[in-house]
Amino acid sequence: MSSASSLEVEDLRTEFVLRDRVLRVVDDVSFTVEPGQALAIVGESGSGKSVAMRSVMRLLPKTGRVAGGQARLGGTDLLGLSERQMRKVRGRDIGMVFQNAMEALNPTLTLERQLTEHLLWHGICDRAEAKRRAVETLGDVGIPEPEKRIRTYPFQLSGGMRQRAMIAMAMVTQPSVLIADEPTTAVDVTVQRQLLDLLARLKARGTGVIMITHDLGVARYFCDDAIVMYAGRVVEHSPIRPLLAHPAHPYTSGLFSSTLEVGARQRALRPIPGSPPDLAHRPPGCAFHPRCDRAEERCGQEDQPLLPWSGNGSDLVPGTVAETGRPTDERTDDRADERTGRREVACWKAVQHG
Amino acid sequence: MADVTVRPDGAGSGPGTDTEPVDGRLIGVDHVDKVFSTRAGDVHAVRDVSLSVRRGETLGLVGESGSGKSTMARLMMGLMAPTDGTVTFDGVDLSTVRHGDMRRLRAQMQMVFQNPYGSLLPHYSVSANVAEPLRLHKRGDKRSRRQRAIELLTMVGVNPRFADHYPRQFSGGQQQRVAIARALALEPKLLMCDEPTSSLDVSIQAQVLALLDELRAGLGLTLVFISHNLAVVERFADRVAVMCLGQVVEIAPTEILFDSPRHPYTQQLLAAVLPVSKDPLPAPATPWQPEAGDLPLREVAPGHYVRDCTT
């Protein structure tokens, strides 16, 4: 088991082939997840975040195809593996956690069958040892009386418990990388925090986590880095705290000012006008320009590549760090991050004006 | 039954019913219980809840799944009868209303649901969806109903050019706007919003909230706003009731509830929130365990009621 490899995705391009046209759903997406690090993929529905992950896992529907790029896990390009080889990677080297455990777990099998399946299928250990590990993992994820609960079916558990069971299933093989697709969207806030703390333990043991989310609070709490996706492309790539303190791309700041936050009643709610584009009619140039209040003619004409962004540390955006009264020491932390962490943004205006 | 705080005006009783005179409440819920009997035993979904919704206010109802929020919504809408206690709407006890009159009363209380696509008729155009309540309540003729539907669609920000399109041709945010237009067709007094923005993307959620905010001010609506998203409720509600296991554990004006929560469950709920621009509060060392039995709700400050607890 390679339990300390990083996942490097480079120029990933995924297309869906429809009857009369080809849609590019993921366009030149690159990122790296180091062991023990967590990357947030932030974006709204239809931005391509789930498809990008399914491309890496090679779980695209029949109409989808990877049209270019690489996804290397510890030196192996996953996109070049045969289906047979890929099956050895899924579940063992890369685990997955989904939003809805009721749909992701098999309703006709007990937890024991589902939790030991990976271990047995990959030939990691024998049945007795598999059961021992499964019980242990169930206990680790905070399910009371794991010896007893392992004999139950998913429908006999509450929503929070089912989500824990699914995380246990992904954890049992101690994968190098865990892909979590909105793992806490369907659960209550108190459970959400418990689940994230649970995933943090996995991270501490060296697993790299990719978390797909549209909740910036979750991203801030759990992740180290983030990429922001819009219409299939990465529009911003940054360590998470500087990203939230000074969003560089207009879409990122739009997401930020659309997000309601407890204890910030005074902050004006400024929704982004319009709705995300239909990929069949992707606006030319920067796909966000029709909704962007800073757009100029050039934005609709030129594609915007991701370029390094250094920003301006003293130029605090209203309503972010300065006004939220975060302790000064922490603010310095963010600044430090900002100096060391690489930031990239796909907006010429942001690059020019900082 | 819990203890009874006698209201200063002597007009009624019940914790959480506050000092509002009876004609100031649009909805009155007094000592309501709801028990669902299942083969596996009884489920006590709502226990001894008393609260009122004042005319023109927005009452937020928060709590985790299974806390009884949606059951409360159905009870307040007269969609189910309480096992015990009374629900009044505009001074009328809903349990005494006959079937035909109930339909007339329903025109004054309309609902917006979480899943807009599921709540719209898929085989009706959006204008027909919006006109449907008018048709059911025999208002106007076909032409005037369509005219009214188009006005309503314009009001909620749906381009009337698309009035003859079907719900599936719209995005989730647009569908929710259509559902809001339909809810407003009968000019209701009350809009019951059950997680109206939970299934929408962040940028769209903000748009729909801005719309609801504009509408309630413009039309003088009374809102009950149910959500598990505390940030949305903080922004939107005048008063907030926190539910846990079928009971209201705390009820207070929004600012007071968020700035100085008194009940351990409310504190725990607020501590679990993950803020975007600052670090979260520390999680409580020992989570509060819901207690059995009916502990009383007490007024700790004007309009701020907290349920007793032993821990």
Q: What is the mean pLDDT of residues B228-244?
A: 93
With 70 as the cut, is the pLDDT of residue B14 above it? no
With 70 as the cut, is the pLDDT of residue A1 above it? no
Q: What is the mean pLDDT of residues B223-242?
A: 93
* A174 backbone φψ class: left, alpha, beta (φ>0; ψ -120 to 50): left
- Mean pLDDT, rounded, of chain B: 88
3-state secondary structure B164-187: CCCHHHCCHHHHHHHHHHHHHCCC
Q: What is the structure's pLDDT at B311? A: 64
Q: What is the mean pLDDT of residues A95-122?
A: 89
Q: How does pLDDT run across B83-139, given as a tens digit for each residue?
A: 999 999 999 999 999 988 999 999 999 999 988 899 999 999 999 999 999 999 999
What percent of chain A has pLDDT above 70?
90
With 70 as the cut, is the pLDDT of residue A340 above it? no
| Residues of A with Cβ-Cβ distance to B198 under 8 angstroms | none
> Alpha-carbon distance A289 to A306, whole Å?
16
- Mean pLDDT, rounded, of chain A: 87
Q: How does pLDDT run across A270-281, given as a tens digit for each residue?
A: 889 888 888 888
Between chains, do B173 and A275 touch, taking CB under 8 Å as contact?
A: yes
In this prediction the ipTM stands at 0.79
Q: Which sign, positive or negative, has the C-alpha torsion B251, B257, B261, B264?
A: positive
> Cα distance from A217 to chain B (closest Cα, Å)?
4
| Top-confidence residue, A62 or B5 | A62
Query: Element (H or E) spanning A77, and its range?
Result: strand A76-77
Q: What is the structure's pLDDT at B293? A: 67
Between chains, do B202 and A44 touch, taking CB under 8 Å as contact?
A: yes
| Residues of B with Cβ-Cβ distance to A260 under 8 angstroms | 205-206, 209, 229, 231-232, 234-235
Q: How does pLDDT run across B143-175, given as a tens digit for each residue?
A: 999 999 999 999 999 999 999 999 999 988 999
Q: What is the structure's pLDDT at B6? A: 36
> Cα distance from A343 to chain B (closest Cα, Å)?
19
Q: Among B209, B28, B216, B193, which residue's Cα sits nearest to residue B111?
A: B193
How many residues does the structure list for chain A?
354
> Alpha-carbon distance A289 to A285, whole Å?
8
List the single residue in B235, B277, B283 with the smallest CB-CB distance to A193.
B283
Q: Which two tokens stand for residue B60?
A: 């937020």
Give residue B10's pLDDT band: very low, low, confident or very high (50, 70, 90): very low
With 80 as the cut, is the pLDDT of residue A2 above it? no
| Residues of B with Cβ-Cβ distance to A252 under 8 angstroms | none
Q: What is the structure's pLDDT at B219? A: 94
With 70 as the cut, is the pLDDT of residue A305 above it? yes
> Alpha-carbon distance B91 to B106, whole Å?
14
Mean pLDDT lowest for which of A120-124, A313-317, B246-250, B260-264? Answer: A313-317
Q: Tell me the pairing of strands A64-73 and A76-77.
A: antiparallel
Mean pLDDT lowest for which of A114-123, A214-223, A316-325, B268-277? Answer: A316-325
Q: What is the structure's pLDDT at B295? A: 79
Q: Which CATH number is A7-223 given?
A: 3.40.50.300
Between chains, do B273 and A324 touch, taking CB under 8 Å as contact?
A: no
Q: What is the mean pLDDT of residues B251-280?
A: 92
Q: How does pLDDT run across B53-81, given as a tens digit for each residue?
A: 999 999 999 998 888 998 999 999 999 99
3-state secondary structure of A342: coil
Q: What is the mean pLDDT of residues A291-310?
A: 92
Q: How many cross-chain Cβ pairs, A to B, lie less than 8 Å apart?
A: 122
Q: What is the structure's pLDDT at A335? A: 43
> Cα distance from B96 to chain A (closest Cα, Å)?
37
Give residue A337's pLDDT band: very low, low, confident or very high (50, 70, 90): very low
Q: Which two tokens stand for residue A84?
A: 């047979």
Using CA atoms of A260, A262, A264, A266 in order, give the dihedral in degrees to the nearest 10: 80
Q: Is A272 on the interface with B (CB under 8 A)?
A: yes
> Alpha-carbon distance B129 to B122, whole Å?
9
**CB–CB of A94/A179 below 8 Å?**
yes
> Cα distance from A181 to chain B (closest Cα, Å)?
15
Give residue B228's pLDDT band: very low, low, confident or very high (50, 70, 90): confident
Going from N- to C-terminal start, the domains of chain A cover 7-223, 241-353
Give residue A354's pLDDT band: very low, low, confident or very high (50, 70, 90): low
> Cα distance from A260 to chain B (closest Cα, Å)?
5
Mean pLDDT lowest for which of A111-120, A253-262, A305-314, B35-44? Answer: A305-314
Identify from B203, B245, B281 which residue to disrupt to test chain A contact, counting A C-beta atoms within 10 A and taking the largest count. B203
Between chains, do B270 and A217 touch, taking CB under 8 Å as contact?
A: no
pTM of the model: 0.85
DSSP A190-209: HHHHHHHHHHHHHHHTT-EE
| Residues of B with Cβ-Cβ distance to A263 under 8 angstroms | 234, 258, 275, 278
Q: Which two tokens stand for residue B262?
A: 């008194």
Q: How does pLDDT run across A164-217, given as a tens digit for each residue?
A: 899 999 989 989 999 999 888 877 888 888 889 889 988 999 999 999 998 899
Q: What is the structure's pLDDT at B20? A: 52
Q: How does pLDDT run across B32-59, given as a tens digit for each residue?
A: 999 999 887 888 899 999 999 999 999 9
Q: What is the structure's pLDDT at B89? A: 95
| Residues of B with Cβ-Cβ distance to A254 under 8 angstroms | 203
With 90 as the cut, is the pLDDT of residue A12 above it? yes
Using CA atoms of B130, B135, B141, B147 in order, give the dihedral in degrees to the nearest 10: -10
Q: Is A215 on the interface with B (CB under 8 A)?
A: yes
